[in-house]
């Protein structure tokens, strides 16, 4: 478990490269990027509910623009390096943020994915040893194009895996049509960084949801999305069918560390499953899969969450992250320290002991080992 490195590695950090932003600027349906006279920053429009506000803001220069402001933190490599230096991060593993390429037509997905991945590769090469990346897959492309994309990124020197949303090919990650993709990724020894995007249906947040800002979808919807996606994979037997599959789950696995026991209990007490022989005595449990095929990031902000994550998958499978450039400081300088980075680092120190072997492993040593960041 001990790792003598003192390097800090951020494995959960995003960018929207210029080629991606330009592509979104040219779109007429969501997701899209638009600029407004009342705001110096372009804004990313993701939600259908934002379309009315978009139309109003384009017509009325006094109206508040909808969407997410794309500050320099989203697209600039210099800004990423500045963030790393300011927050004492030595190495970052960068990935494209949601909604990735899930919305593209089949004919265009492959080419755009190739352009984005090669751009990330060039960026990492220019900052060798400081930047690596998780590639983006053209999931809507034909199967042969998708498989070729996996082989292409496997050969990119600084690629260490792929980022994947929970929709998969549109039917979720228990879709049988994804099995050859999972096997291809396993054979290529590319880890999947699983990240939520779609959340839960808006109606679950109730008629007063607008009063609560984005707290409920981000704090509860995203983690539950991850939990449900992985539970579906487990129930479908994906992890048994592709034993070489390795997944890194965002936000410490959602609620899996807390609910794995309940999932197990429900499986064992489901009469139909038991009587149909789907619960054999030699079945690998949810706990087995979490300890053998799953890694968790440490983006959970608390001792309670980190302890649960460590007990679930093992502290040697936990990796520090910041979720930059999301959750910027509201009332302080965004060029200084970010609370999101500090909270996660402090949680690691308080949970495992400041400068302990375990804390150093979570902050960097585990990522260096698992993602082979010492290989050039």
DSSP letters, 73-139, are HHH-HHHHHHHHHHTT--EEEEEEPTTTTTTS-HHHHHHHHHHHHHHHHHHHHHTTTTEEEEEE--T
39-48, 217-226, 244-253: the lowest-pLDDT one:
39-48
Condensed to tens digits (0 to 9), the pLDDT of residues 153-197 reads 999 999 999 999 999 999 999 999 999 999 999 999 999 999 998
pLDDT at 2 exceeding the cut of 50: no
| pLDDT at residue number 332 | 74
Start-end of CATH 3.20.20.140 domains in the chain: 9-16+76-371
| pLDDT at residue number 376 | 62
**Between 83 and 333, residue with greater pLDDT:** 83
Provide the β-strand partners of residue 94.
13, 133
Question: Does an H or E element contain 182, and which?
Answer: helix 179-187
Angle between helix axes 303-313 and 339-352 (nearest 10 degrees) is: 60
Structure confidence at residue 39 as a pLDDT band (50, 70, 90): confident
| pLDDT at residue number 32 | 95
Condensed to tens digits (0 to 9), the pLDDT of residues 200-243 reads 888 999 999 889 988 999 999 999 999 999 999 999 999 999 99
Classify 9-16+76-371 by CATH class.
Answer: alpha beta
Residues 159/132, Cβ–Cβ less than 8 Å:
yes
Place of tokens 């080992």: 369
| pLDDT at residue number 331 | 78
Mean pLDDT of the chain: 94
Q: What tokens appear for 215 in the block?
A: 């707290």
10 CB-near residues (< 8 Å, 6+ apart): 84, 89, 91, 92, 93, 320, 321, 322, 324, 341
- The pTM of this model reads 0.95
pLDDT at 3 exceeding the cut of 90: no
Structure confidence at residue 4 as a pLDDT band (50, 70, 90): very low
Alpha-carbon distance of 73 to 89, in angstroms, equals 15
Condensed to tens digits (0 to 9), the pLDDT of residues 107-165 reads 999 999 999 999 999 999 999 999 999 999 999 999 999 999 999 999 999 999 999 99
pLDDT at 62 exceeding the cut of 70: yes
């Amino acid at each position: 478990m001990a790792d003598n490195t003192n390097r800090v590695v951020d494995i959960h950090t995003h960018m929207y490269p210029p080629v991606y932003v330009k592509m979104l600027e040219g779109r007429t349906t969501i997701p899209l990027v638009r600029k407004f006279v009342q705001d110096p920053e372009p804004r990313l429009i993701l939600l259908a509910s934002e379309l009315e506000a978009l139309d109003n803001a384009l017509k009325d220069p006094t109206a508040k623009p909808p969407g997410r402001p794309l500050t320099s933190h989203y697209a600039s490599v210099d800004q990423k390096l500045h963030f790393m230096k300011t927050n004492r991060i030595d190495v970052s593993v960068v990935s494209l943020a949601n909604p990735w390429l899930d919305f593209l037509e089949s004919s265009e997905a492959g080419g755009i994915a190739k352009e984005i991945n090669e751009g990330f590769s060039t960026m990492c090469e220019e900052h060798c040893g400081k930047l690596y990346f998780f590639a983006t897959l053209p999931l809507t492309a034909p199967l042969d194009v998708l498989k070729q994309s996996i082989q292409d990124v496997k050969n990119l020197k600084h690629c260490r895996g792929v980022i994947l949303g929970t929709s998969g090919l549109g039917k979720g990650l228990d879709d049988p049509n994804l099995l050859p993709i999972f096997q291809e990724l396993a054979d290529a020894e590319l880890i999947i960084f699983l990240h939520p995007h779609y959340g839960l249906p808006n109606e679950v947040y109730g008629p007063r949801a607008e009063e609560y800002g984005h707290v409920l979808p981000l704090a509860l919807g995203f983690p539950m999305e991850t939990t449900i996606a992985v539970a579906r994979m487990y129930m479908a037997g994906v992890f048994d069918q592709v034993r070489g599959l390795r997944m890194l789950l965002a936000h410490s696995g959602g609620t899996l560390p807390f609910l794995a026991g309940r999932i197990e209990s429900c499986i064992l007490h489901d009469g139909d499953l038991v009587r149909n022989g789907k619960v054999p005595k030699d079945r690998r449990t949810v706990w087995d899969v979490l300890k053998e095929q799953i890694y968790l990031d440490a983006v959970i902000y608390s001792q309670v969450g980190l302890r649960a994550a460590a007990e679930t998958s093992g502290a040697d499978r936990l990796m520090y992250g910041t979720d930059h450039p999301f959750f910027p400081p509201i009332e302080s300088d965004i060029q200084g320290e970010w609370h999101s980075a500090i909270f996660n680092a402090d949680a690691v120190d308080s949970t495992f002991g400041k400068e302990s072997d375990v804390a150093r492993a979570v902050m960097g040593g585990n990522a260096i080992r698992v993602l082979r960041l010492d290989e050039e």
